[in-house]
Structure 1
Amino acid sequence: MTNPMNPTSPADPTGAPVLVTGGTGTLGRHVVPLLRRASGQDVRVLTRNPRPAADGVAYAAGDLLTGEGVDAALAGVEVVLHLAGDAKHDEATTRTLVAAARRAGVRHLVQISVIAADLVPLGYFRAKHAAERAVAGSGIPFSTLRAAQFHDLTLKTVAAMAKLPVVPAINGIRWEPVDSRDVAERLVGLALDAPAGPVTDLAGPAVRSLGDLTRDYLAAAGKRRPTLPLRVPGAVGRCYREGVNLAAPGADRGARSWDAFLAETFPAGAPAVGTGRVRTG
């Protein structure tokens, strides 16, 4: 296989299929076709709801929570991209995958995680860190990419808040949202290269307060809502105010901005995007 980011990387002569978990999710929908085009290898997606194969992509029935079908899905696979996960079961499902991958002789396991997984005192981050430890301690050569919050998740968060009669403008929390397409490109490059262990974090091009992200969404979507500044108390609020969740200096930065993402999502509202302000009333 040839790394599209490094054309001199050696080709994989085996022609083994690449397995992707979470291949039908937000990130997987970008990763799977890009991986197929970049590698020329067959791609196999592990899913609880299989569908007919198409364009070199096969769908294998399997459940990482119960383990059912996972060994069969890994048969003949040498490279795995692990994109599936949730805060409640992330460690357990990752350990199920790791055990099956060892039995299958997988030679490279690529994992997506979140920036500051070991530092932010929230269940989602703790689960991601536990999954990281499961992969790192597996004995399987691996690459782990920590990324910032995707634009898609950011949109879901601010849209949910915008349903309230008064929208909280949480300025003490700062994010650096990254486009899932930029993350997909980075993951495919890792999958087609040699295992690299923990790699450089990937964040979006700018650090923005959650309040500004919310106001940008309201402007782009043409919504008029009163906003109310809100401070998050306790250890979580302090963590975010100190910027513990942000990428360290030297992190890689995605090219696609939050403003551009909103302009794509709400083209009619594109001129208002990026102002960081919205009239109330």
Structure 2
Amino acid sequence: MTTSILVTGGTGTLGGHVVPLLRDAGRTVRVLSRHSREPEDGVEYVTGDLLKDEGIEAAVDGAEIVLHLAGGPKGDDEATSNLVRAASRAGVQHMVYISVIGADTMPLGYFRAKLGAERAVADSGIPWTTLRAAQFHDLVLTVVRKMGKMPVVPCPGGLRFQPVDSREVAARLVELTLGEPSGPVPDLAGPTVYGMAELARGYLRARGRSRLMMPMRMPGKVGRAYRAGENLSFEGATVGKRTWEDFLAERLG
């Protein structure tokens, strides 16, 4: 069976939504994973490591489209460069990449690596599409869960987010993957901007808990960037529908 779409990061939060949607669309899917897995429901798994440049040639062999979801706390630029080199040699016809809002403005290593990855895709010679999205509700939940275990919750002033539902991002990515290469497309953000204290309080209310909140100031360039809203997107952005409250009600009951 010819593999038409390779998905990196197909076993993660986003990939867990994307892969079934591609299968429902009748597409054959291959997933690149660092851990071996048996084929299931028409999905083939190939073992490899983007950052170590291992197993990529076999993964891209025969793929018409590459949907690049894999990412980590560092090294995304290098991992993506390894992927696009192999994809170019394999004759891939469309590269789709998920990035993050603020990749070109936030003075943090994670964002700089995302920008480097965007440039690697754009400079690859492969027709491409890149979508920047806000932080997922799932990630915010992980953060506030950890914060909620503290007797006093630190709340940096000016730290705001537009959390978006990962399923809405997945649906948009599948739409882009099955469409024509579009270059940079409008950002995808959640419907509401929240301060860190609001997100923490929402979580604590949903769990029937309360904590003292301790305001604090973020120093330096990072603090100034967050206070300026460099990680937010408004004009021209696509806005999701599911709010943080909707997500918490579903996830925590």
TM range (shorter): over 0.9
Q: Which consecutive unaligned segments of at least 5 residues does structure 2 have?
A: none
The question of 1:259 aligning with 2:238 is answered: no
Secondary structure class of the residue paired with 2:191: coil
TM-score, normalising length from structure 2? 0.97
TM-score, structure 1 length as denominator? Answer: 0.87
- Tell me the secondary structure at the aligned position of residue 230 of structure 1: strand
Match of 2:19 among 13, 22, 32: 32
Which one of 211, 217, 224 corresponds to residue 231 of structure 1?
A: 217
In structure 1, give the amino acid aligned to 2:201: R
| Larger Rg, first or second structure (1 or 2) | 1
**CA-atom RMSD, angstroms?**
1.3
Asked if structure 2 preserves the Cα contact closer than 8 Å seen for 1:26 and 1:180, the reply is yes
Write the distance in 1 (CA, Å) between the matches of 2:213 and 2:172: 36
Q: Contact 2:157–2:218 (CA<8 Å) still a contact in 1?
A: no
Question: CA deviation digits over 1:68-118, x for unaligned, max 9?
Answer: 211111111010100001132111110110010011100000000000101
Between the aligned residues of both structures, percent identity stands at: 60
In the alignment, structure 1 residue 20 sits paired with structure 2 residue 20: no
Contact 1:169 1:228 (C-alpha < 8 Å) held by counterparts: yes
Deviation for aligned residue 1:66 = 2.0
Runs of 4+ in 1 over 6 A off after TM superposition: none
Contact 1:15 1:41 in 2 (8 A): no
- Counterpart of 1:108, as a letter, is H
Equivalenced residues, count: 253
Q: Which residue of 1 aligns with 2:178?
A: 192
Amino acid at match of 1:90: D
Matched, 1:119 2:119: no
Residue 3 of structure 1 is matched in structure 2 by none
* Distance (whole Å) between structure 2 residues aligned to residue 53 and residue 203 of structure 1: 34
In structure 2, which of residues 158, 168, 174 is the aligned counterpart of residue 172 of structure 1?
158
SS in 2 for 1:246: coil
Counterpart of 2:142, as a letter, is: K
Tell me which residue corresponds to 1:278: none
Q: Which amino acid in the other structure matches residue 211 of structure 2?
A: R
- Alignment counterpart, residue 63 of structure 1, candidates 45, 49, 54: 49
- 2:48 and 2:237 map into 1 onto residues whose CA distance is 35
Of 63, 77, 85, 2:71 maps to: 85
Q: Say if 1:168 and 1:216 are closer, same or farther in 2 by CA, change over 3 A.
A: same
**Helix, strand or coil for the counterpart of 1:229?**
strand
